[in-house]
Structure 1
Amino acid sequence: MKYNSLKYTLVFLSLISITLWGCLKDESFDDHEIQSVAGSGNQNVVSMALTATNTTNHLQIAFDKSDADTTFDAIPVTLAGQPATEDIQVKLVINPALLGDYNAENGTLHEEAPTSVYSVTNATGDSATGYIVTIPKGSNTGYLQLKIKPNDFLGKDYALGVQISSISPAGYLIASNLSAGILALSTKNLWDGKYTLVQKQVGWAAYGIADGETNTWPSDVSIITASAVADDINTPEGGNLQPAFTPGGGVTVFGATAPRFTFDPVTNAVVSVENTIPDDGRGRTLQLNPAVTDSRYDPATKTIYVAYIMKQNGRPDQYIYDTLTYVGPR
C-alpha cells in the first residue's frame, strides 16, 4: 500500500517533559532544557549530572547552523546540599573508553571530538591532563565551558566522554552514579524542528487505544537531532514517549517506548525506527512496517511520513502511521 494515502500531522517540545516528570531545574540549565543539578542529602558529594531523565548520563546538544564562535556551559559539576563554604576544584578528564562502551551498548557511532573543533574557555589544564573546574564559594555548581563553531559539526557525530577524577581540597566524595557521562555535540540535522502530528493507529482497540481513527495531536511536537541522521520525537504532554490516542481523540503515551527515526541522508527515506528505552519486561520494540514501502521525508512539503509497528509480549502488533508536517525551527 502507498503510505501517502493515509493522512496525518505532528507535535512539539524538548526532552525534559519526557516521563511526566518533576525534575529540579536550574535556570542556568534552561538553554539545553535537559541538564539538571543532582540533589543529595550528603553535603560532601560532588556529581556531574548532564541529564535529568537519562540513566546513562548522556546529553545530546544540537546547535543551529552557524560559523560564529559559540560559548556555552557544557558540563556542570554540582555540590549536593548547601552552597560551598570554600572554592572547590573538580578535575575532569577526557575518557575515550566511555564512548566505546556507550557505542557498544546503544548501537551509536559517536567519535571523539578532536581538539581542533572545540576549546575550553574557563578552566585550567588540557585534554591530556584534565581540566580544573571550580565550584565557587557560595554556589553549588561550576561549569566546564566550551567554545565551538557549530558548522564544524555538520554531518559529524562528535562526543566527549568525561569523568570526575579528583576533588580538592580533601573531604569531598565523588558521586558513584554520576561521576562520568557523555556529551554529544552536533548541528541540527535536516529533519530537526517543530511539527504537527496526525496519527492513525490500528490493532489495540481491546486495550483502550484508538483503532482505525485518524487524530491530530493538540500541540506541536519536536523532532530533535539525535545524530547526523537520526531524530527523536518529543511532545509537551509526554516527553520522548511514543504518542498515541484513546478512542475519540484523547491523548496518551506508551510507557517504556521512545521512537527514534533514522533517515538516509541521500534519499530522505526513513530506514529504521527503534525504541531507545531499555526493555521493562514487556518486550516493547519498534520497527518499520514492511508493508509500507515509502516511509520518508518529503523535502518539497517538509513532511515526514512514517509507518511502523510496536510489538509487545503477549499482544497483537500495534500499527502506527504518522504524518509530521514542519511548522518551524524549535
Structure 2
Amino acid sequence: MKLSIRLISLLALFLSLGIGMVSCLKDKDYDDGLIQSTHGSNPKMIEVKVNASSASNFLGLVFDPVNRDTTLNFIPVNLATANSAPEDIKVTLTQKNSLVTDYNAANGTDYQIPTANMFTVLNAGNVVTIPQGSHTGYLQVKFKPSDFAGAWALGYQITAVDKSGYTISGNLSSGIVAIVAKNQYDGLYTSVGYFEHPTSPRAIDLEDLALTTVNANTVNRLIGDLGAASGSMNITVNANNTVTITPGAGNTGTVASIANLPTVGIYNNTYDPATHTFYLRYGYPNPGPTRIVTEVVTLQ
C-alpha cells in the first residue's frame, strides 16, 4: 500500500544526511512541472529528476516505521520537452552504488545501501515506460519501512533508451533517493529562546518548528529563527540524553562551523524524554562565536 509522506528540501534534512519529510510523488506534480525541470523544446532530453531544487538530484523520504509492504513511485524518469511523449518510450535504469558513496563523501553523510532482500523493483528489467501522451514514467519499488531503521539510499542511472531521437541528459542522468524510518524525535516543536547577534539580537518564539529524521538518533532543523537559505543543523541525541549539534549537509560560510556551546543556566544541550524537550545552546562561527542561540524546544 502507498503511504503518505512529506517532502523536504535536501538542504534542510536529508542534506544533513539528507533525509527529510516528503509528500507522495504524484504523477500530476511531475506532469505539471512542479517537481521535474521546466520542459524545453529541443533536444528531446530524457532525465532522472527526483528533486528540482537539488543540484545533486537527491530526495529524502521519511516513513512511519510500519511493518507492511509499501509500493512507491520511487524514481521518476522525465521527457523534458514542451510536448508530451508522441510514443511509448522505454528507458532502462541501472542501480549505481557509487552515486551513494560519492554523495556521502561530498556531504559528510553516512547513507547505507540496502541489500537486495530489503526491497523489490516492480519494473521488469528496471525498464521505465514513459507512456504516450505523458512526460513521466516511474521506477516503482516495494519495501517495508520497518526494515529501514537508520539511513539508507539508492542511486540509479539511465543507461539506455529504446527509441532513436532521444538524448540522455548529461546533468540529470542519475538520481539518489534516501529511505529513512521516522525516529522518536521527529515532529513539530515550539521554540522559545534568544538569538544573540551583533546587529540583530532578538527573542525567539516559534511554532511548528520541524525536526526531521536523519537517522535513528539524529534530527535536522533550521538554525534558530533563520530560513532555509541560511543552512540547517543536526541534533544527535546521545545514549545519556546529551545532544551533539553539527552542521547540516551543504552548510557553507559561517554556519558550516555551528556547534554546541558551554552550558549557561538551563541551556545545557540535553534532551528530556519525559517532556520531549531539548535544552540547547549553540553558536557560530567557531571558534569565537558571535551568533549564539539559547532555546527550549518542546514537542507540540
Do the structures match in fold with TM over 0.5? yes
Matched, 1:259 2:233: yes
Aligned length: 275
| Overall identity of the aligned pairs, in % | 32
| Structure 1 equivalent of residue 164 of structure 2 | 170
| CA distance in 2 between partners of 1:92 and 1:65 (Å) | 28
Amino acid at match of 2:168: I
What does the per-residue CA deviation read over 1:254-304, in whole Å, with 9 as the maximum and x for residues that have no partner?
A: 74422222232x23322232142342xx44324323312831221100112
Q: How far did 1:73 drift?
A: 0.9
| CA distance in 2 between partners of 1:202 and 1:290 (Å) | 13
Cα distance change on mapping 1:321 and 1:54 into 2, 3 Å = farther
SS in structure 2 of the partner of residue 182 of structure 1: strand
Q: How far did 1:203 drift?
A: 2.9
Matches within 5 A, 1:250-289: 253=227, 255-264=229-238, 266-279=239-252, 282-289=253-260
Is residue 197–residue 221 contact of structure 1 (8 Å, CA) maintained in 2?
A: yes
Q: How far did 1:78 drift?
A: 0.7
| Structure 1 equivalent of residue 132 of structure 2 | 137
Matched, 1:318 2:286: no
Q: How far did 1:14 drift?
A: 5.2
What does the per-residue CA deviation read over 1:288-330, in whole Å, with 9 as the maximum and x for residues that have no partner?
A: 23312831221100112222112189x9620012322112xxx
User: 1:297 pairs with 240, 264, 271, which one?
Assistant: 271
* Superposition CA RMSD, Å: 2.7
Cα distance change on mapping 1:173 and 1:254 into 2, 3 Å = closer
User: 1:230 pairs with 194, 202, 218, which one?
Assistant: 218
Cα distance change on mapping 1:69 and 1:271 into 2, 3 Å = same
Matched, 1:70 2:51: no
Cα distance change on mapping 1:287 and 1:316 into 2, 3 Å = closer
Is residue 70–residue 143 contact of structure 2 (8 Å, CA) maintained in 1?
A: yes
Is residue 162–residue 182 contact of structure 1 (8 Å, CA) maintained in 2?
A: yes
Is residue 197–residue 291 contact of structure 2 (8 Å, CA) maintained in 1?
A: yes
SS in structure 2 of the partner of residue 134 of structure 1: strand
Is residue 16–residue 52 contact of structure 1 (8 Å, CA) maintained in 2?
A: no
What does the per-residue CA deviation read over 1:70-118, in whole Å, with 9 as the maximum and x for residues that have no partner?
A: 1111111111121101011111111111122111111211121111111
| CA distance in 1 between partners of 2:25 and 2:113 (Å) | 28
| CA distance in 1 between partners of 2:11 and 2:105 (Å) | 24
Higher share of residues assigned helix: 2
Is residue 64–residue 188 contact of structure 1 (8 Å, CA) maintained in 2?
A: yes
Q: Which runs of 5+ in 2 are unaligned?
A: 1-5, 13-23
What does the per-residue CA deviation read over 1:229-270, in whole Å, with 9 as the maximum and x for residues that have no partner?
A: 32222xxxxxxx5342xxxxxxx5374422222232x23322
Matched, 1:242 2:236: no
Q: TM-score, normalised by structure 2?
A: 0.82
Is residue 49–residue 77 contact of structure 1 (8 Å, CA) maintained in 2?
A: yes
Q: How far did 1:214 drift?
A: 3.1
Higher relative contact order (CA 8 A, sep 6+): 1
Is residue 186–residue 211 contact of structure 2 (8 Å, CA) maintained in 1?
A: yes
Matches within 5 A, 1:119-158: 119-121=120-122, 123-125=123-125, 131-154=126-149, 156-158=150-152
| CA distance in 2 between partners of 1:187 and 1:104 (Å) | 22
| Structure 2 equivalent of residue 188 of structure 1 | 182
